[in-house]
Structure 1
Amino acid sequence: MLILLLGSYLIFGFILPSFANLAKLPSPQLIVLQNENQIIQNLKSKTQNPKSNNSLIENSIEEGKRLYDVGRFAEAVIVLQQAVQEDKQQGKIQKQAATLANLSLAYQQTGNWKEAKQAINESLQLQELNNPSKNQKLLAQTLMIQGKLFLSTGESENSLKSWQQAEKLFVEVKEPNSRITAKINQTQALQILGFYRSAIKILQEVNATLKTQPDSIQKVVSLRSLGEAQQIVGDLKKSNIALQESLEIAQRLQNLDEISASLLSLGNHALICDRTTEALTYYKQTFQFAPSPLIKLQAHLNQLSLLRERKTDTTTIISEIQTLLQQISPSRSSIYAQINFAVNLVKMGISSPSPIDILTTAIQQAESIDDIQAQAYGWGELGKISELAGKFPQAQKLTEKAIVLLQGTNTPEITYQLQWQLGRLQKAQGDIKSAIASYDIAIDALQALRSDLVAINRDVQFSFRESVEPVYRESVALLLQNPELRDKNGQADVKILDKARQSIEALQLTELDNFFREACLQGQKVILDRVVDRDNPTSAILYPIILADTIQIIVKLPNQSLKLYTSQIEESKVEQTVAKLRQDLSNPSAIQDLKMRSQQVYTWLIKPMEADLAKNQVDTLVFVLDGVLRNLPMSVLYDGKEYLIEKYALSLSPGLQLLNPKPIVTQNLKALTAGLTQPPKNFPNFAPLHGIESEFKLITKAGINTTSLLNEEFTSTALERKIKEKPFNIVHLATHGQFSSRIDDTYILAADGKINVRKFDNLLRDRDEARSEALQLLVLSACQTAEGDKRAVLGLAGIAIRAGARSTIASLWQIDDESTAMFVGSFYNELKKGISKAKALQHAQLKLLNHVNYRSPSYWSAYVLIGNWL
């Protein structure tokens, strides 16, 4: 049976700077029966000798395939239409069904989506009517074409179903290569739907199968797809290996389509890794090699974004993009390309070509292919242009039009941005009540993205601070700064405070998901208020929230409703003060500057509630810190006479608890200690840690039952083995490490190299957390935050969570060996007395503070406790 076989030329999409969920569209690979010269001769013969038309019609399927193969799609449509009529007249049902499927594919290439849908549906209906003699292979191939159509028109779930059905049929008819193609195509739909890890698992299986086979297009596509999926979940090293291998095979095959597609993917990879010069080179090479106008366009659009950021002349590339857009038939990819182009022009302040005209054309084309999502993107961007121009009523109408289009669709990745935009517009026009409602919908959509794993769509992932974080902050600002939501005394309603606090906690949780590139903490929150009211009624929880012109501090006092305290201070001033204070902490001689700045922060955060804390006899403060405050140890805050650590035990929480807090059982403390006095040879920037042996001896002297791995004994495999062998409830790691907002740069050192934060799942979480020997405490005594990284403590929270430890103590910067040993010994001595971890930490820090050599905060304030403070 003759049918056009759909291959899987999978194209990595350009980066949309705003609305984004770009399909990676397959383009068909067809069997070549004759070369192009033969086709041309046939066409000449047809033109010069009309009498030969009958013989050509007899071979119309063959002719249609040949025309299609050389990109003459409109002519292929005409020939295949003739073939359908002939098959119908002759009653050849299966042949007619095959020709209709081919016709659908040709229609797709010309952008005639309604006709393509009609043709494929007629093909499937014919095959169903002819059920007793159904050709399973024909049906599978037809489903492959249907899957491509669904993906091209935005119906990703349906495309996945079509390709899954096709795969089953290919198994039945024993077509292993076609089955692999179906599986590869499925992974593209899975990635568009956000299920990247499921896609990676399938692609790894496919690549294992293809590894021993000769070079092929399937190999190229499968490796490229794997590399792209690994890139999205943050496994950048493996991603680069897969993409390079994909390029090498494509080059050996001398296939320009695949070479250009792999070059484009490598350019996107370099861009994500901040290697912009390398990215530009790849994009230029892509444009040079690509036969496909669409790939040329995608490369140029990415190049345009980079040139815009570099403020380089873009006149030539803009002109070339305009030309390319005229060469491409309407599809989701081409429509998104136009939206991308228009957004870039707006950001560059260019009015000719007109971004509005480009968006209008994109919307019209989206309507012609019935792509609701693409229409919504277009209307949303038109609304944004009006918003930037200050035309708020017009912007609101356009935005609402986009929102109405999406009613009844499951598109949270678009909905949250449109509702956020609507909320901004309503706020600008003074409609605060409606704005709050719109922000609520936007946040609900973001939460849906988490649970569906679409949150790791790379456009959300790599612009988190621009396109996700502001939604939460602006929502909280509306709640806390709106006088209509306050009582007669100016105090915000308790329900409003709780809602604001939950929004900030949701932001913290979403940020951690973004760090891990997976929604790994879903459904594990417990309410901290209960711990304060019932288990530890001398503690208070503080939620300082940094807004544009204030710090709003929500406080939970024992057995009382939430309260709100406000400090009038601009966000930029907070960031500058905290940054300078953090610098002071690394300089023991800068004590006067340090006290001045730390007193300033104390005035913002603690002074407004001093009386209430004293009245409720609070002795422990638990901070859920926000923004730049997370890089600052709260112990160093200064009231003019005393540091905060002299008045309170302190702890940090990432806004949630993974395990129900319980005091540590001091009678049976068993610790695994592991450390390196000398860093591995390939890490020359780290200094020796000569005090580790002394540190370990002091832990044992404190009465802790210890097992040690020292120097060459301390490898990642040895650590994992020891943890599995014995039920340790403490793991104490005395080794260099780094916390960063980038997951690849968050690690500790073992003798065999880095133990990345991802590996902590394997090393430390292989235990039943309900048993008494669950990991109670993880101590990281010689780590530091990445220099210049404002969000580096995110990596510390990541390590704490990945370890599954109920509590984590870590240093924010590396300090003197002797003071570290003194601190560690004192901490474990205090812990053995049965007091809380927070108080044990406080007493150990006070011992350093009161020591003649270590009074400077740079020695004792580096240590923080995260998690369970009991």
Structure 2
Amino acid sequence: MIRKSWLRYLFIGFLTFAIVWNSPIVLLAGIVKNEPKHKQAQLLLKTGRAQLNRDQPAEALKTLQDATKLYRQLNNQEGITKSLVYQNYALQQLGLHFQACKKLIGALKLNDSLCEPSILPTPKTELEKLKQIIQQIPLTPANFLALQSLGEVLRLNYKLSESEEILNQILISNSIFPELSSNIVLLLGNTQRDIYKRIKQQYQWIDEPLIQDIIINVIPQKAESALLNYQAIINKSDTSISTKLQAQLNCLDLLIDFQEWLKDQPRFPDIQTRISQQIEPLISEILQETLIFESLSPEQSVQARLKLVNSLSKLPKQQMRLQAINYAQDAWQIAKNINSSKLKAKSLQMLGDLEPEKSLDYFETALILAQSVRAKDIMYSLQAKLGNLYQKQGKIEAALQAYGAAVNSVTSIRANLLSSNADSQFFFYEEVDPIYRNYMALIAKSTAPNYDLIAQIHEQIQTAELEDYLKCGKLELVALNKIKNSNVAAAIIHIIDLSDTILVIVKSPGKPSYHHSVDASKVRNPVNTLLELLQDPKLVLTNESLLKFHSQAIYQQLIAPLESHLPNAGTLAFVLDKSFQSLPMHLLHNRQDYWLANHSFTGTLGSKIPIPKALLKQQMQALIAGLYVPSPSLNDSQAPQGAAVLPQIKEEVEDVKKLTHSSLVLLNEEFTSKNFKQKISKTNFPIVHISTHGQFSSDIQRTGFLAYDRQINIVEFDSLLRNKARISPGRIELLVLSACQTAKGNRRSALGIAGVAVQAGARSTVASLWLVEAKSTVLLMQKFYLGLNNGLTKAEALRQAQLSLKSNPKYNHPYYWAPFILVGSPL
């Protein structure tokens, strides 16, 4: 009896080994080669599901693809759909959420565009169309599974509105599978939780107070919608054990996160009290049901335990920390038993965070495990943690190596995260930015600082921030110091915020880098005060001596110590950090004159620009769009606050037309979003001049310009210009955005301006940081285009135009001439 039992288990073990290590076709050939195709397909489907449960997504994907082939041969639609759904699960485990979404779209025969990432909110009309399409899909078992999976994968692709719409629809129409409704409610709660997180994070990274006031009241509504769904599942008697546990863990995570946010929001005291009272009872309920964790598969058990650990670790009580350590140790033991390197690494990372006295050993071991399976999503975090530990221990060389490795790891995965999951929107400011900045600060404090390396990292972080803002993937730009024509810029100046210090690095062609640092406290106050003055609607009434006082203070602290290392003339290219991005650097004053007197200026994208090319006289052909009559777009929800008719634009448009050749003009009613898109797509103009209201915001949804009918967002601008690029290779040499402005309170306007420039594919962009009196803008544009006609570079033409305005007694206040800046190539 014992021998038979032993032989039986040996055979099962051998079969399991074969399933894991051999392809399904080999398995079928060896065991079921004589079975009919439908049996083969069923076995492949079963095998693929088993591989998914064993955390073998790559093997499962191959198995399930073979199953799909057989089901297609059999013309079995239910089998095709089901196998595609499980392929989607495999792709999700591999982190390929976009490809997973495509599988489900194919299974349900929906429009491919549903999976396409978009950072703009989905119009209500599109959501209504989606609702009607979903209602027409017959709810067979396979279709139900596919729709449920689609709701989840759309969440992971950050299509949250679409995810919520689909899950709501199948929940409403689910009379066939009522026993599965709890799972749908769980997925709906997860989507609503991510909507809450998105809005909360948006509130944190948006600078403008006006937008923050709009957003702040929506955050509690979205959090409580998700909490209600989680609590409905928890309280439902027939909810499965695993679904209930997931709801409890997600509910706890959200309650703790929401409580933390409410601490800084005094306007919601009642909500804060109610939320705080729910946390400890829920923890007690979870801890009392320890057998629930044992009922899960080993992989699911580890993930669930680590999720609980993550929540408990955020609470201040020592008892909670001890419970977290126990659960993390259990997770580590289970991960060891199933020999999952990735789960072992995650468990050790958690233990390292919880037990600082042992963290070095935990993190080092976890990193080796993560490296063994190339889990870069874990590696970068561990490398950064080790860098911090080594630094505290005085092991500066080891710390530098660890941070350098973290930067390399995060750089290699960041492009894939830009549009791949719900966390990508928060990834830059929470994860990427601190790693880069800690690395730069550590290099600066080392015994032999490499300032060229700091400048290089600063370039990377600036470009990374813009890519994250645009969600556009990798940008094709060239570093200024790599351009063969070394006279593009006389010097590149980096101004870097390292928290306690501000570091300034000057790089001139053929010369070694030079640097200077200053205590940040000496700079922040004059910078913040000057920005507030410049963004005040009453700027024109502000005494110029007050502006000079603060601009002189900034110049003396940041620039004066470097004067001997700066050229006497030529173009200065600036790579500006954080709040410095909204400062027009030519406005700085050296106690004799404004800096504009000696230099022309350009802002760059991490000191990177499209390949520079001079604008030739024969290229002075322009597409000119202008709006100077009352229009529906003035009431657009995204229009700048207080936008009004600008009649002087008519004169500006006429002047630009005279100073360019063969220009095409779209005015007022002709300047609709549709007409503009058609003209810019079908014609090739080196210059695009847009005279209309627009604004640059830290919220990309509010960055764009007004056509007659509505706002054209820069994401739309990008889309139509990409279409143009496929038809014609001609690049926009110069984009001029006249009458645009920086949204009030925005300290990162360069993101919006650089974003427009990049989305337009423009070598150079001229824009204004605040809305200027229209008559002075007409004069400035006259001089600017005259300078271009006379062969001046764009940077020098803009400088001469500003100097001309400044010399006019009527317009010598900085309000009139200072807001105009150039971004990109100065040539």
Question: TM-score w.r.t. structure 2 length?
Answer: 0.82
Aligned mates of 2:418, 2:341 — CA distance in 1: 19
Taking a change above 3 Å as real, the CA distance of residues 816 and 142 of structure 1, as seen in their structure-2 partners, is: farther
Asked if 1 retains the 8 angstrom alpha-carbon contact of 2:20 and 2:51, the reply is no
C-alpha displacement of 1:385: 2.7
Taking a change above 3 Å as real, the CA distance of residues 682 and 622 of structure 1, as seen in their structure-2 partners, is: closer
Asked if 2 retains the 8 angstrom alpha-carbon contact of 1:167 and 1:182, the reply is yes
Name the structure 2 match of 1:735.
692
Matched, 1:365 2:317: no
Q: Residue by residue, what CA displacement relative to the aligned partner does 1:690-711 show, whole Å, maximum 9, x if unpaired?
A: 2221220121232343211122
Give the alignment of 1:520-599 within 5 angstroms.
520-521=474-475, 524-531=476-483, 534-536=485-487, 539-561=490-512, 563-570=513-520, 574-587=523-536, 588=539, 589-590=541-542, 591-599=544-552
Aligned mates of 1:218, 1:802 — CA distance in 2: 41
Name the structure 2 match of 1:819.
776
Matched, 1:215 2:215: no
Aligned mates of 1:781, 1:241 — CA distance in 2: 40
C-alpha displacement of 1:243: 4.6
C-alpha displacement of 1:660: 1.6
Matched, 1:423 2:425: no
Q: Residue by residue, what CA displacement relative to the aligned partner does 1:750-792 show, whole Å, maximum 9, x if unpaired?
A: 2342322222233223345998842111122232333344434
Aligned mates of 1:632, 1:835 — CA distance in 2: 25
Taking a change above 3 Å as real, the CA distance of residues 191 and 867 of structure 1, as seen in their structure-2 partners, is: farther
Q: Which amino acid aligns with 1:381?
A: M
Taking a change above 3 Å as real, the CA distance of residues 646 and 337 of structure 1, as seen in their structure-2 partners, is: farther
Answer with 858-867 or 737-746: which moved more: 737-746
Name the structure 2 match of 1:273.
199
C-alpha displacement of 1:196: 3.7
2:446 to 478, 482, 485: 482
Asked if 2 retains the 8 angstrom alpha-carbon contact of 1:263 and 1:285, the reply is yes
C-alpha displacement of 1:431: 0.5
Asked if 2 retains the 8 angstrom alpha-carbon contact of 1:672 and 1:731, the reply is yes
2:185 to 232, 255, 260: 260
Name the structure 2 match of 1:379.
348
- Greater Rg, structure 1 or structure 2? 1
2:473 to 502, 512, 519: 519
Asked if 2 retains the 8 angstrom alpha-carbon contact of 1:167 and 1:183, the reply is yes
Taking a change above 3 Å as real, the CA distance of residues 779 and 430 of structure 1, as seen in their structure-2 partners, is: same
C-alpha displacement of 1:331: 4.3
Tell me, what secondary structure is at the counterpart of 1:273?
A: helix
C-alpha displacement of 1:661: 0.8
Give the alignment of 1:669-684 within 5 angstroms.
669-677=620-628, 678-680=631-633, 681-683=635-637
Answer with 814-823 or 147-156: which moved more: 147-156
C-alpha displacement of 1:663: 0.7
Give the alignment of 1:311-350 within 5 angstroms.
311=263, 312-313=276-277, 314-323=279-288, 326-328=291-293, 329-350=296-317
C-alpha displacement of 1:541: 0.7
Matched, 1:177 2:78: yes
Taking a change above 3 Å as real, the CA distance of residues 419 and 861 of structure 1, as seen in their structure-2 partners, is: same
Q: Residue by residue, what CA displacement relative to the aligned partner does 1:346-399 show, whole Å, maximum 9, x if unpaired?
A: 322122232211211222222233332222112112212334xxx3xx211110
Q: Residue by residue, what CA displacement relative to the aligned partner does 1:632-655 show, whole Å, maximum 9, x if unpaired?
A: 221222222322222210101112
Asked if 2 retains the 8 angstrom alpha-carbon contact of 1:423 and 1:435, the reply is yes
Asked if 2 retains the 8 angstrom alpha-carbon contact of 1:386 and 1:395, the reply is yes
1:499 to 453, 478, 484: 453
Aligned-pair identity (%): 31
Name the structure 2 match of 1:162.
63
Answer with 549-558 or 212-221: which moved more: 212-221
Taking a change above 3 Å as real, the CA distance of residues 174 and 257 of structure 1, as seen in their structure-2 partners, is: farther
Aligned mates of 1:573, 1:348 — CA distance in 2: 37
C-alpha displacement of 1:158: 3.1
Aligned mates of 1:132, 1:149 — CA distance in 2: 20
Tell me, what secondary structure is at the counterpart of 2:485?
A: helix
Q: CA RMSD for the aligned pairs?
A: 3.3
Q: Which amino acid aligns with 2:60?
A: S
Answer with 114-123 or 656-665: which moved more: 114-123
Q: Which amino acid aligns with 1:420?
A: A
Asked if 1 retains the 8 angstrom alpha-carbon contact of 2:370 and 2:376, the reply is no
Tell me, what secondary structure is at the counterpart of 1:348?
A: coil
Asked if 1 retains the 8 angstrom alpha-carbon contact of 2:600 and 2:799, the reply is yes
Answer with 723-732 or 414-423: which moved more: 723-732
Taking a change above 3 Å as real, the CA distance of residues 636 and 144 of structure 1, as seen in their structure-2 partners, is: farther
Matched, 1:631 2:582: yes
Name the structure 2 match of 1:108.
none
**Which residues of structure 1 form unaligned runs of 5+?**
1-80, 89-95, 105-113, 486-491
Matched, 1:612 2:576: no
Tell me, what secondary structure is at the counterpart of 2:318?
A: coil
C-alpha displacement of 1:115: 10
Matched, 1:129 2:30: yes
C-alpha displacement of 1:841: 1.4
Q: Residue by residue, what CA displacement relative to the aligned partner does 1:722-745 show, whole Å, maximum 9, x if unpaired?
A: 123321111122223333333333
Question: TM-score w.r.t. structure 1 length?
Answer: 0.79
C-alpha displacement of 1:220: 5.3
Matched, 1:642 2:593: yes
1:809 to 753, 766, 773: 766
Aligned mates of 1:191, 1:814 — CA distance in 2: 47
Tell me, what secondary structure is at the counterpart of 2:680?
A: helix
Aligned mates of 1:225, 1:811 — CA distance in 2: 47
Matched, 1:144 2:41: no
Q: Residue by residue, what CA displacement relative to the aligned partner does 1:577-608 show, whole Å, maximum 9, x if unpaired?
A: 43322111023233444322222222233212
C-alpha displacement of 1:621: 0.5
Taking a change above 3 Å as real, the CA distance of residues 595 and 679 of structure 1, as seen in their structure-2 partners, is: farther
Q: Which amino acid aligns with 1:158?
A: E
Aligned mates of 2:446, 2:192 — CA distance in 1: 46
Aligned mates of 1:300, 1:578 — CA distance in 2: 43
Asked if 2 retains the 8 angstrom alpha-carbon contact of 1:783 and 1:813, the reply is yes
Taking a change above 3 Å as real, the CA distance of residues 786 and 180 of structure 1, as seen in their structure-2 partners, is: farther
Name the structure 2 match of 1:20.
none
Name the structure 2 match of 1:36.
none
Pairs aligned (count): 744
